Amino acid sequence: MNKEANEDNPKNFNPAVLKKIQQARKMRLSTEEYISGIISADITILSKAITLIESNNPNDFADANTIINACLPKANKSIRIGITGVPGAGKSSFIEVYGKHLTSQGKKVAVLTIDPSSSISHGSILGDKTRMEDLVKDSNAFIRPSASGETLGGVARKTRETITLCEAAGFDTIIIETVGVGQSETAVHSMTDFFLLVQIAGAGDELQAIKRGIMEMADAIVINKADGDNIEKAKLVKTEMNRALHYFPQKKSGWSPKAITCSTKTNEGILEVSQIISEYIESTKNNGFFDRKRAEQNEYWLLETINENLKQDFFNHPQIQEALEKTKKAVQNDETSPFAAAQLLLETYFKNKS
């Protein structure tokens, strides 16, 4: 064996390399190290802390909660923007251009994604990463895809906690992209101040958003890809959208949403969207809606978390799991009513809860 490379002879190691290896080995930091690292805007530590709060290992829960609680007083000072729209509408492209616009003004931007399907379709995340090439390199931007292998409830809770950590690390604008399928819009809407819907002309899904109730949540709609041959079509959709918005009831925010065209290729309309968002924030801060909405969101997440945990505890209870299988059959065969059976199962659960 070559004596030079022997572990007992570390003199031959480049000290910088050795330090890196030692640092990598020391994966686990103390909660104090995490907290001070986040507050001093150390991005490496921020990333590690997010990984810790995303962990499903019960041994990590106490540390994660300590870190989140320590970050809370430093959080809450950002603007949170939710972005939705069908896959391919140009959400990531929009975030890249808008994000660059914000960082060029000295803002610090964190981009998070809510994608409960990411464990199945890694593609969407990879696509996002490559499409935000410029923003990824920007030292005033931080991009973090959502935790994979999670239910929507799990992803949503962790995203909310990630917002807290990013805010404590000094990010003043948090942008959250949803995949635009399923229920993820509702989750993102309930953790952001401003909700932007990205649409495209001619995809046949202009009306989908109305059907699915997403237009009602939107504070603004951008008709993206308004470039080349598509400009006229996009303008037409804009007019249609503005007409449709007119029929929606007045929003509690006192804000009247509007549709505009934009292109992430030509940057047309980006400044206008930026202005709309600023106006919205100013107007809702002035009329008290901004703070009221955040307080309501906190309450919503409190109840949501209790719901989730109770449900999980109930369905994971060994006695319930066994009884549930039998009860399902009994209910299918009309041997008992679903309501009486549910009552019985709940009683069994509470009696056997340690």
Binding partner of 85, given ligand GDP, Mg ion, none, CB within 5-8 angstroms per partner class = ligand GDP
Token code pair at residue 109: 């931007």
Burial class (CB in 10 A: 0-12, 13-18, 19+), 291: exposed
Considering only 36-44, 89-97, 215-223, 241-249, which stretch makes contact with ligand GDP by CB under 6 A? 89-97
Query: H/E element holding 224?
Result: strand 220-224
Q: How far is the CB of 61 from ligand GDP (least distance, A)?
A: 32
Kindly identify the residues of this chain, within the stretch 127-156, that bind Mg ion according to CB under 5 A: 128
Q: How far is CA 219 from the centre of its chain?
A: 18
Cα-Cα-Cα-Cα torsion 252, 289, 76, 165, nearest 10 degrees, comes to 0
Residue of 108, 158, 160, 225 that binds ligand GDP (CB under 6 A)? 225
Q: Is 92 in the site for Mg ion (CB under 5 A)?
A: yes
Which sign, positive or negative, has the C-alpha torsion 289, 291, 293, 295? negative
Q: What Å distances lie between residue 311 and 1, 76, 191, 306, 329, CA to CA?
A: 59, 29, 22, 8, 21
Q: Is 84 in the site for ligand GDP (CB under 6 A)?
A: no
Residue of 102, 78, 41 lying closest to 167 (CA atoms): 78
Considering only 7-15, 18-26, 88-96, 202-210, which stretch makes contact with Mg ion by CB under 5 A? 88-96
On whether the CB atoms of residues 96 and 135 are closer than 8 A, the answer is yes
Q: Is 87 in the site for ligand GDP (CB under 6 A)?
A: yes
Residue type, 298: N
Residue of 84, 92, 146, 184 that binds ligand GDP (CB under 6 A)? 92
Residue of 107, 131, 233, 235 that binds ligand GDP (CB under 6 A)? 131
Considering only 84-92, 144-152, 196-204, 325-333, which stretch makes contact with Mg ion by CB under 5 A? 84-92
Q: By C-beta, is 74 or 233 nearer to ligand GDP?
A: 233
Considering only 74-82, 220-228, 271-279, 303-311, which stretch makes contact with ligand GDP by CB under 6 A? 220-228
Q: How far is the CB of 157 from Mg ion (least distance, A)?
A: 22
Q: Which residues bind ligand GDP (CB under 6 A)?
A: 85, 87-93, 127, 131, 224-225, 227, 263-265
